[in-house]
Structure 1
């Protein structure tokens, strides 16, 4: 077995590989850019080597710099993680020439299957059903438009060397094809150092289901069940689960056997994933093969008990697979939610900054429940604009799908993140969505269910009632603290009142509280709700045992006269007032936000790549105004209405903060 492994990656996947290597008694080497000097993966590794400036094309995807780190440290093998150099055959060749093991497939398999164009041709030659498309290299936007018209709209523009949603665009007409072609080329060049583009038919209403495969160097190949990855936005997976709620045993077996046959046709070894789109009749079509570890691999591990990273290391060490196909079953259900540094209320645009608070839920492993959090950050760390915005992968397991979903709901409620925008509210909303609960999902789920973007969650009246009862009990505890500090009480039980009105939005909940040493009984709407909690003023998380509806977990912040409460994707201000104060509050005027209708604001911290209009230009609704790059993704900002440009305050190359003015209109 290897003595030392270098991980040619960063963030949570580097930390994930380090954990397994340590378990196997293998020393680890981290590489890091200047921006990652204090990153978690650097702290976890036995050694660390600086490889250059923050941009990945000057550090993490520069083969020579990784090779220098290998030589400096004497690493015997390299695990590439995913993204960056994980599917770069030149990198695998460089390692082979140096006598260093690549913990991944052989060069031939990477070239055959890692390249989207080549893999589709091979799949077609092997008789695998593939999506219609043009597999040749597309030279320019004019050719892209011509090909798109031949295929028929809508089409998918994809980077040949792509992955993780980078370099992908859906186009519904010629204008979007031109814009998407150039944006995809730019993203592909920036993320992978390869700007080749191909185009295929975009199949509407599909499910995205993938098969995990594992092959050794001795001719053995296994399929390790499937993962449902249909909850996506911008072609980026957000929620994954294993197994799929859609497949039956016969379809699963057929997909698995086909995936292994395709892998073995190119002498594949190591872990890999064959991706399919599946229609409503369970017809499946080869999409692509990822010749690497997938982001969502933990859900496969949780339902099988197989450590895929360990298997990759053993295969790279020329070991035979110690497991057979008959050993692989499906134990329970697993779900993964990807926590991103992005603002769901601003169209999921990237967010950067410092994690002023980062408290994941406790990781647990029992016979009934598992909570696992794969992460690469820590409280006080910084989310950089240079890399992928994923913060963590929160995974839960249960004996069945309903249990896994409930475990995820509770884990999301307990996950505390402050300092940046994040998608925790959206993830909670998905877990409670009727379509997700029923398993009736497609890759169009987000755009169909949130056509105007995510605008938060409105909780049911019964949920608000429970929150009102909990807030009243917490407010009473806070009032006792305040009266003690002020010296206004000798006997606080007599000083602090028992009758209050809890106001949540348009709802008023008159309550009466009776407290004892163990907790409180809150009378609300002719109910008596018993609450017990160890919450104290200043705690940001309240876990409350209730005899109505079960335990309740709330994220708690202070606002004048009450709390900011977050629960199950809802973010609300909860006021607890004396009855007279509540009555008078109805007459208070609401403060209106400033008018920004004549301004184009930068929706995220980013770099201005292109400005397409000048002062005096008349613009039409939907017209492209400028392009902002953030976290390796190009975002085109468009006019919301017809108008005339009066000022342009930013130019290409400018770095802007969120809400900084780019241009003004008359």
Structure 2
């Protein structure tokens, strides 16, 4: 077995690998750049080696520095995680030359499958169904437009060496093909050091379903079921699950067998993922193969009971797989939600800053429920602009799909995350959507369900009832603390009661509350309903409020104080809730309303990042939809376009400038 393992990665995947290595008694070595000096993976490892400045190109992508770190610490193996050098054949070659074990497949398999053009040709030869497209390299934008027209729109423009949604664009016409080619090529060069581009047909109503494979050096290769990864934004997965709600046993077997056939064609071993696009009629087409561990591997682990990292380490040490295909059993259902430092209210643009509060839900594992949180951050840590904005991967498992979804919704309710913009509200909203719960998924899900972008949700009657109840019970507790409640002797105890008008978005909800002491049972009269609460867990200053409804149902809401009330966040809604005495609420309509300033004449930077280029000049008249500037944030290029026809009256930035969110980039005037 491997004695000392260097993890050539960072963040949550480095922490994940360290956990398994520790379980196997393997010593670990972390590497870190300047920005990660205090990172969690550095704290967890037995040793840590500094490898350079914060930009990945000067640290985590420096092969020579990583090999030097192995030699310095005596590490006899390297696990690459995912991203960075995980699919770089030169890295695997360099490790072999230094007599260091690479925890991954052979170089020839990385080369064949890591290159999307070559892999599609090999897949076709192996009898795997493939998507129609142009498999040759494309030299320039004119060629891209010509080829896209020949294939027929819509098309997917992709980086040959790409991954993680970078270097990918969908084009529906010539103009989008030209722009998409330029952006894909630039992102690919920045992220992978390889700007080769190809084009294939974009399948409409597509599902993204992938097969997990694992093989050993003795010629054994098996598949471990599939994962549904259709909910994506900017080609980056957001919510994954295993198994897929769409596949039947026959299609699952066919996809698995084709994945294995492809692996055998290149002598593949270690963990890998064969990705397919599946249309509405369950026709499936090979998309690409990832010759590494996938971000979403935990859901496969939860339904198979296998540790994929452990299997990778054992295979790398020359051991045989401990099971056959016939012994693979899928049990229950697992959901994964990727928590990103990105603002869903700003079209999921990256966010940076310090995690002022980070309290994930309690992890647990038993016969009817599992909650797992893979993370690489901690409270007080910083999310920088240099790397992927992932904060954590929250996973739940249960015997059925709906039970797993419900468990995820509760886990998200209990996840406290403050300090940076994050997609928790969006993930919570999806868990309550009927379309998601019914399993009616495509890769267009976000665009179809949130065509105007995410702006929170309108809570249904039942959820609104819970918000009002929490606000009223918090108000009663605060009033009781200040001696402002009414009390009356009742039987063997004391009845405490109060009356409020709960105001949400201008609507008033009269509430009457009664609580009997001792025992603490609550009775609420609101929305023409009466409800009983056995226990209410909240104290002033707490960030979570939990209602134990009569009948063993629980509700947990995020709460914080504001003037005359509370900010309450629940299931995708972010509400300002006022709890007022009825006579004060009656006067609320007389209060003046503050009008926000008009910012329509400014272009504001939507995320923290660096200006790649500015495409306009002062005095220029721009048209609706014209590109104004490009800002790079976390290795993704974001094209900023004019919302209407106007004249550029003043430029505030130039190429290369580092900007904060909402910093003014340019001003406009009417034409």
How far is 1:270 from its partner?
A: 0.2
CA deviations on 1:412-444 (whole Å, 9 max, x unpaired) are 101111111000010011111111110111111
Is the deviation greater in 6-15 or in 514-523?
Answer: 514-523
Cα deviation 1:95-146 (Å, max 9, x = unaligned): 0001111000000100111111110111112222211111122222222122
1:61·1:192 contact (CA, 8 Å) conserved in 2?
Answer: no
2:102 maps to 1:99:
no
Does the 8 A contact of 1:529 with 1:548 survive in 2? no
TM-fit CA distance, 1:506: 3.8
Q: Which residue of 2 aligns with 1:620?
A: 623
- The equivalent of 1:518 in structure 2 is 519
Spell out, residue by residue over 1:68-119, the C-alpha distance to the aligned partner (whole angstroms, 9 max, x if none): 1111111110000000000000000000001111000000100111111110
* Aligned equivalents of 2:486, 2:234: Cα separation in 1: 58
In the alignment, the residues of structure 2 paired with residue 368 and residue 506 of structure 1 have an alpha-carbon distance, to the nearest angstrom, of: 42
1:145-184 matches, cutoff 5 A: 145-184=145-184
Aligned pairs, number:
663
Structure 2 match to 1:658: 661
Measure the CA separation in 1 of the matches of 2:311 and 2:464.
48
**Post-superposition offset of 1:491:** 11
Select 1:587's aligned residue among 586, 590, 604: 590
Preserved CA contact (<8 Å) 1:209 1:277: yes
> Which residue number in structure 2 is paired with residue 6 of structure 1?
6
1:527 correspondence with 2:529: yes
1:252 and 1:282 map into 2 onto residues whose CA distance is 10
Cα deviation code 1:526-552 (max 9, x no counterpart): 433222123100000111111279211
Show the counterpart of 1:501: 501
Q: Is 2:558 aligned against 1:555?
A: yes
Q: Is the 8 A contact 2:622 2:646 kept in 1?
A: yes
Superposition deviation, residue 495 in structure 1: 13
Partner of 1:116: 116
Distance 2:419 2:116 in 1: 38
Aligned-pair CA distance for 1:518: 3.3
Q: Deviations over 1:434-474 (max 9, x none)?
A: 11110111111111111110111110122212221221111
**In 2: Cα distance, 1:145 partner to 1:579 partner:** 65
Q: In terms of mean alpha carbon deviation, does 519-528 or 631-640 score higher? A: 519-528
- Most deviating of 298-307 and 198-207: 198-207
Choose 167-176 or 286-295, whichever is displaced more.
167-176
User: Could you tell which deviates more after superposition, 458-467 or 284-293?
Assistant: 458-467
Would you say the 8 A contact 1:335–1:397 is kept in 2? yes
Structure 1 position 601 matched with structure 2 position 619: no
Aligned to 2:454: 454
| In 2, Cα distance between equivalents of 1:613 and 1:185 | 22
Q: Counterpart of 2:548? A: 545
Structure 1 window deviating more from structure 2 (106-115 vs 128-137): it is 128-137
Which runs of structure 2 are paired with 1:179-328 in the superposition (5 Å)? Answer: 179-328=179-328
The alpha-carbon distance between structure 1 residues 187 and 346, as it changes in their structure 2 partners (threshold 3 A), is same
Q: Structure 1 CA distance, aligned partners of 2:374 and 2:519?
A: 37
In the alignment, what sits opposite 2:466? 466
1:284-308 CA distance string (max 9 Å, x none): 1000000000000000000000100
TM-score (normalised: structure 1): 0.97
**Aligned-partner Cα distance in 2 for 1:382–1:176:** 36
Q: Give the Cα separation in 2 of the matches to 1:108 and 1:156.
A: 27
Note if contact 1:464-1:504 (Cα within 8 Å) is conserved in structure 2.
no
Q: Is the 8 A contact 2:501 2:508 kept in 1?
A: yes
Q: Which moved further from structure 2: 458-467 or 89-98? A: 458-467
Partner of 2:419: 419
Question: Following the alignment from structure 1 to structure 2, what is the Cα–Cα distance between the partners of residues 105 and 195?
Answer: 24
- Give yes or no for the alignment of 1:567 onto 2:567: no
Q: Secondary structure, in 3 states, of the residue corresponding to 1:498?
A: strand
CA contact (8 A) 2:487 2:496 kept: no
Stretch deviating more after TM superposition (508-517 or 392-401): 508-517
Structure 1 alignment gaps of length 5 or more: none
Query: For the residues of structure 2 that align with 1:664 and 1:189, how far apart are their CA atoms?
Result: 32
Secondary structure class of the residue paired with 1:49: strand
CA distance in 1, matches of 2:100, 2:657: 42
Q: Do 1:479 and 1:496's aligned partners in 2 also have CA atoms closer than 8 Å? A: no
Distance apart, 1:274 and its partner CA:
0.3
Q: Does residue 462 of structure 2 align to residue 475 of structure 1? A: no
- State the 1:589 CA deviation: 2.6
For the aligned residue pairs, the C-alpha RMSD in angstroms reads: 1.7
Q: Is the 8 A contact 2:487 2:497 kept in 1?
A: no
TM-score with structure 2 setting the length: 0.97
Structure 2: stretches of 5+ with no match in the other structure = none
Indicate yes or no: 2:388 matched with 1:388: yes
Question: Which stretches of structure 1, 4 residues or more, deviate above 4 A after TM superposition?
Answer: 488-497
- Aligned-pair distance for 1:592? 2.1
Q: 1:398 deviation in Å?
A: 0.5
